[in-house]
Amino acid sequence: MQVGGGNDQLMSEINVTPFVDVMLVLLIIFMVSAPMMVEGVDVNLPRASAAPLKTDEENLVISIQKDNQVYMNDQVIDIQFLTEKLQKILENVEKRDVYLKADKDVPYGTVVDVMSKVKSAGVTSLGMITLPEEE
């Protein structure tokens, strides 16, 4: 006596449930870990006694490293093209605020050169990023 209809064929369908479970777990892991991977340019900032400013929005940050390498956010940029690149980025932006952070060992002339190129690009407000003084 045969139970179940007598059909002895193998089932050839793939069970996708474990695959979907693994993919959802990986998606959650990447969603949680992605914001932690964002890293800026490492600069040894000078210390100052000014109070920090509060801001809610993302701003453009220009960094100058000890070896005079200039970065716009995390992208390396040639200092000769800084004005042109800033003009292109800020041409449709209403609030033209840029922040500058320079290593404390960078020559003053390099910082002034970058500041003049930023101002000639039409930036209305140039802020300096420093670390708070230790007490």
| Res 5: pLDDT | 58
Reduced to 3 states (helix: H, G, I; strand: E, B; else coil), residue 105 is coil
What tokens does 37 get? 């991977």
| Res 22: pLDDT | 93
**CATH match for 47-132 among 3.40.190.80, 3.30.420.270, 3.40.50.300, 2.40.430.10:** 3.30.420.270
Between CA 132 and CA 32 the distance in angstroms is: 30
Q: What is the value of pTM for the model shown?
A: 0.56
DSSP code string of 78-100: -GGGHHHHHHHHHTT-S--EEEE
Mean pLDDT by 10 residues, the chain (135 residues): 61 84 92 72 62 64 88 87 87 82 87 88 82 68
| Res 20: pLDDT | 92
| Res 128: pLDDT | 82
